[in-house]
A and B are shown apart, each in its own frame.
Chain A
């Protein structure tokens, strides 16, 4: 039976209305099975579906009927005093335990209280459960809340000791359990049984991140043994599919662009998405335009399910209406500021109406409605919550009527719609640029890809396939550097134009020296018209300023590359040419990406037959050599095993050269040469010999002493490479290692 075919017991959403979280569910199940006595936190942002993951975990383990007995408990507002919690927790634990033992899920769905189950109905092998229930009843009579809580929380452990069962205790909404008495008793329950050979229950705690991570103090042993299971937001594709599925099932008409906007604006939030589709379904309206969606969105924020959800969140942090008003006021002030506000300044603004302003901010922080640091407080990054706060402030504090507040929000969101969709498009191109530049690795590419005028002259009117073919025959080439790092220098926009700037640092020529270091300054421009010279100059000034602002050091060689969607005006092209700057359109960028991919896949173009590499004798520099060797060997068609052997041998050669060479220039020089059937790597240094220049055999197999470790290095090199030779040079020693694509015939 597949996982999706399991009977639903606690999970609330059918497959068609949820997103695929099976991998996380599997992880929690595996954790419980393989780590008895340990605990985990299930962490993730608000509304990513953590509760449903826990409920599905319960269902899966219940249906599997294995050794692990699932128990799911969701804390709630009605049980936040110790006695209420203890009674509810114990009752649900026994109910779910009996349901598992009887393989009768109805016991749970009937919501039967454990105390209402007649003791005589328990089978004989459940005598210990009867005694557990008796003990709890006795503890209730004593009217000691802490004792009662201890009794409830120890029930899972007693099940392992007396019932030979290993419960997986899934506690949801832990952020609601803030009482100090509760905290210490929970820590007691989480401690594994002693001695360690006795199995203990597994606890998985879940809730709002900030409150949950504080449950286990870092100085305790529990903290060291704590696992963390992260739940990420669903990716864009999954979310779009989820919205599409949900709309279909509710009979709400949509189209691709509205679904894209919903995905962007709701930031892939599952709850918001469901609320919007349900609202559209209940009003029988389609979501086929931005206006359709923004109308539903605005009404949801002001008076729909999303608005009521936020109302409840704000109310939870406030003891009365006045405090709720202060909370709303504080949140609106932070929102309006647009940047972090000093806490003291905020407190001063709201203290007139608040009894305990710091406590209120602390509550808002732990409920993740704002972020409070030591000195500053900043707004939530949830854009939907920001919209709620602005609209709510207008209607409840500034006194605007709800229709007016709604219309203002609607206007804002409609204006945002276009910008949001453009941002999405731009983001895709920006990621493409970063990806392409990160792949620069000394490749030789057609120069017309970096010269928009020459490209236009050569290939105007040709189709993409024809251009790709022609590019492989182009004689003029540009040798790319090897990129070390790409910095994002920020973005800017004005009417009809937006741009993003990058700086990429790397080396040219395969030799890592100051002279070969190069800085590429890259401007990516999205405009409807070819870029004119004035705008080009303006963007160039932004570029220089951004580099200085981010304190990126200029290298001896600086190169500019402008990529403009619609190309450049004639004057702008002349200027770029006179400055020796590169210029490309988005189309050239795509072709460059194709070209680099074909090189990586071993297309027509072969890498240069010889490379040189100089690395410093420092840190893990030999890894740079290994990485270079890997790329060269891969393009020369060596298999993965051989590549691993080459890398390991080269690392040993570098360590040898570093340790024994006493090289005055503190550098190791390498050359990689490829011919038809072999890769020859030469590693040389200046100074005394390393290895055995006179051709003697390396030392015998070491005995294990660290002093013998160099013998191991030579042994490794000889074993992994096909030919190894040491040569003495005028100023040092050279080790030449050869690996054949296929070993020469030993016969």
Chain B
């Protein structure tokens, strides 16, 4: 049982989808350097193609390491620099605690669910500048 669990963890793929003109990225069960870099390149592609609103949904993310967090912080900066907006959603309590401890939450907004995050991003997009 445990072996199968590990195998699934190691082969998990990064998943993403477009919702209207926003994108949702799912980092998978373990956000490490590899998956952090996948998110980074995915976001670069999205920004290049004109997508400015991105949600990172951590629903299936059981573990996160510091390298993954560092890369995520870089991604947040890149999106902000491109005048886009990025939100996090579906954080478990332990992942939220980790982000809070490392000061990540002062750089990015977190919403309970992906749907709320998308809604807030859409509202922000419509608000007068």
Using a CB–CB cutoff of 8 Å, the interface residues on chain A facing chain B are 34-35, 37-38, 196, 224-225, 435, 438-439, 441, 482-485, 506, 619-620, 622-624, 626-627, 631, 641, 644-645, 647-648, 651-652, 655, 701-702, 704-706, 708-710, 712-713, 715-716, 719
Contacts and interface: CB of A to CB of B under 8 A. Distances in A.
B74 A623 contact: no
B115 A34 contact: yes
Contacts of B98: 648, 716
A462 to B, nearest CB: 30
Given A623-B9, A701-B103, A716 B66 contact: yes
Contacts of B20: 37, 196
A316 B75 CA distance: 55
A195 to B, nearest CB: 9
Nearest to A624: B6
A225 B21 CA distance: 11
Given A648-B63, A706-B67, 14 more contacts: A35-B19, A196-B20, A225-B17, A438-B2, A438-B4, A439-B1, A484-B3, A648-B65, A655-B65, A704-B74, A706-B71, A708-B70, A712-B69, A716-B102
Contacts of A438: 1-4
Nearest to A708: B70
Interface string B86-114: 00000011100010011100010000000
15 contacts: A34-B115, A37-B20, A224-B18, A438-B4, A441-B2, A483-B3, A485-B7, A620-B10, A623-B63, A626-B63, A647-B63, A702-B70, A702-B102, A706-B71, A715-B101
A629 to B, nearest CB: 11
B30 interface: yes
Interface of B: 1-7, 9-10, 17-21, 30, 32, 63-67, 69-71, 73-74, 77, 92-94, 98, 101-103, 107, 115
Contacts of B18: 224-225
Given A35-B19, A484-B3, A712 B63 contact: no
Indicate the member of A484, A485, A620, A713 with the most B CB atoms within 10 Å: A620
Given A196-B21, A438-B1, A713 B66 contact: yes
Given A35-B19, A482-B2, A709 B67 contact: yes
A627 B103 CA distance: 27
Given A485-B3, A620-B32, A627-B6, A655 B67 contact: yes
A655 B21 CA distance: 37
A627 B101 contact: no
A495 B93 CA distance: 58
A620 B9 contact: yes
B100 to A, nearest CB: 10
B63 A704 contact: no
A651 B65 contact: yes
Nearest to B67: A709
Nearest to A631: B2
Contacts of B101: 715-716, 719
Given A484-B3, A620-B10, A704 B73 contact: yes
A648 B94 contact: yes
A744 to B, nearest CB: 21
Nearest to B73: A704
Contacts of B17: 224-225
Contacts of B107: 704
A361 B93 CA distance: 56
A623 B30 contact: yes
A709 B63 contact: no
Contacts of B19: 35, 38
A655 B30 CA distance: 14
A190 to B, nearest CB: 15
Given A438-B1, A648-B94, A701-B103, A709 B6 contact: no
B63 A619 contact: no
Nearest to A200: B20
A622 B65 CA distance: 10
Contacts of A34: 115
Contacts of A713: 65-66
B9 to A, nearest CB: 5
B55 to A, nearest CB: 14
B10 A623 contact: yes
A625 to B, nearest CB: 11
A68 to B, nearest CB: 16
Nearest to A439: B1
A98 B118 CA distance: 33
Contacts of B10: 619-620, 623
B32 to A, nearest CB: 7
B74 A620 contact: no
Given A620-B32, A716-B102, A706 B74 contact: yes
Given A225-B18, A623-B10, A709 B3 contact: no
A719 B99 CA distance: 12
A86 B32 CA distance: 53
Indicate the member of A196, A439, A644 with the most B CB atoms within 10 Å: A644
A713 B101 CA distance: 12
A645 B30 CA distance: 15
A62 B98 CA distance: 46
User: Which 5 residue pairs across A and B have the least CB separation, nearest first?
Assistant: A644-B94, A712-B66, A709-B70, A484-B3, A438-B1
Nearest to B118: A34
Nearest to B9: A623
Nearest to A711: B66
A438 to B, nearest CB: 4
Given A225-B18, A706-B70, A651 B63 contact: yes
Indicate the member of B7, B30, B65, B74 with the most A CB atoms within 10 Å: B65
Contacts of A719: 101
Contacts of A224: 17-18
Contacts of B69: 709, 712
A743 B43 CA distance: 42
B30 A709 contact: no
A635 to B, nearest CB: 13
Nearest to A438: B1
Contact of A655 (B4, B66, B92): B66
A241 B76 CA distance: 53
B62 to A, nearest CB: 8
Contacts of B1: 435, 438-439
B23 to A, nearest CB: 11
A78 to B, nearest CB: 38
Contacts of A506: 3
